[in-house]
């Protein structure tokens, strides 16, 4: 009889320990600030700045590595069409309490993704103010601080209105030419600018630097290269104004 009672007590102890372990495994994920996650509704919007002066020739540097190159007169560019695939956000704090950077180490440590769904648009025709920015996607993200954001695009195509000759390569007008964005497939178009999502949620406003869109280069082997710059416009808004 004593052995039977001891067996019952052992079974009860195992049941308690199993229940405790289950509760421990179901703990809520950490927020960007290290506390229990509080998902809030977020809308991502996109616009661009005015063109301004051309940015440093990052695309030109990549083109020079490949051989002959030539800068493209921006007045000959009719459109730069892209397909927007997804936006990824890097929390400032990892789930283990460490700090996240914006380099490739973030690929294994907590980028949060919102799907855009293959929206096709012309970067040169984007609205020039945050108020008229195009809504890209809506979803839930933990409130708190973020170290960076990146935008993944595909099927980037440039259309010219004038014939362009670079070395032995010819770029005809009114024909779509594939555009290469350095590291675009691996890390997207990213910014290392920190921002916060308030507890009530709101808008995350991304902005293409208009000057960087002028930094388009062609190579003698028939490649078009663009190195656009994207930023977070003033952090987030919580339905009233920019924080």
pLDDT of residue 14: 33
């049941």: which residue's tokens? 15
pLDDT of residue 168: 84
Q: What's the maximum distance between 2 C-alpha atoms anywhere in the chain? A: 97
pLDDT of residue 231: 92
The pTM score is: 0.73
What are the tens digits of pLDDT across the range 158-171? Answer: 999 999 988 888 99
What are the tens digits of pLDDT across the range 53-63? Answer: 544 444 444 44
| End-to-end CA separation in angstroms for the chain | 71
Give the Cα-Cα-Cα angle 114, 193, 123 (nearest 5 degrees). Answer: 60
Query: What CA–CA distance (Å, rounded) separates 169 from 165?
Result: 6
Nearest alpha carbon to residue 65 among 202, 185, 223, 213: 223
Query: What CA–CA distance (Å, rounded) separates 64 from 81?
Result: 24
Q: Is 36 exposed, middle or buried, given 0-12, 13-18 or 19+ CB atoms closer than 10 A?
A: exposed
pLDDT of residue 196: 93
pLDDT of residue 200: 92
Per-residue pLDDT in tens (0 to 9) along the chain, 243 residues: 444 344 434 433 333 333 333 333 333 445 554 555 589 999 999 999 886 554 444 444 444 544 556 778 889 999 999 999 999 999 998 655 455 554 444 344 589 999 999 999 999 999 988 788 899 999 999 999 999 999 999 999 999 999 998 888 899 999 999 999 988 888 899 987 899 999 999 999 999 988 888 888 888 888 899 989 899 986 554 443 333
Task: Classify residue 36 by its DSSP letter.
Answer: B
């Amino acid at each position: 009889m004593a052995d039977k009672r001891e067996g019952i007590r052992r079974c009860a102890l195992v049941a308690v320990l199993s229940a405790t372990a289950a509760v421990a495994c179901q703990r809520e994920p950490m927020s960007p600030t290290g506390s229990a996650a509080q998902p809030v509704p977020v809308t991502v919007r996109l616009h661009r700045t005015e063109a301004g002066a051309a940015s440093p020739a990052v695309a030109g540097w990549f083109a020079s590595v490949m051989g002959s190159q030539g800068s493209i007169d921006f007045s000959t560019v009719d459109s730069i069409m892209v397909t927007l695939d997804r936006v990824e956000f890097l929390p400032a704090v990892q789930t283990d309490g460490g700090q996240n950077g914006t380099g490739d180490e973030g690929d294994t440590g907590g980028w949060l993704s919102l799907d855009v769904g293959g929206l096709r648009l012309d970067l040169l025709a984007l609205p020039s103010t945050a108020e008229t920015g195009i809504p890209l996607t809506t979803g839930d993200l933990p409130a708190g601080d973020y170290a960076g954001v990146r935008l993944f695009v595909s099927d980037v195509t440039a259309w010219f209105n004038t014939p362009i000759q670079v070395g032995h390569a010819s770029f005809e007008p009114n024909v779509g030419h594939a555009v290469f964005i350095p590291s675009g497939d691996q890390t997207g178009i990213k910014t290392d600018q920190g921002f916060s999502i308030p507890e009530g949620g709101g808008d995350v406003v991304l902005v293409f630097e208009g000057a960087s869109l002028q930094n388009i280069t062609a190579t003698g082997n028939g490649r078009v290269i663009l190195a656009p710059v994207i930023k977070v416009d003033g952090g987030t808004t919580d339905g009233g104004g920019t924080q």
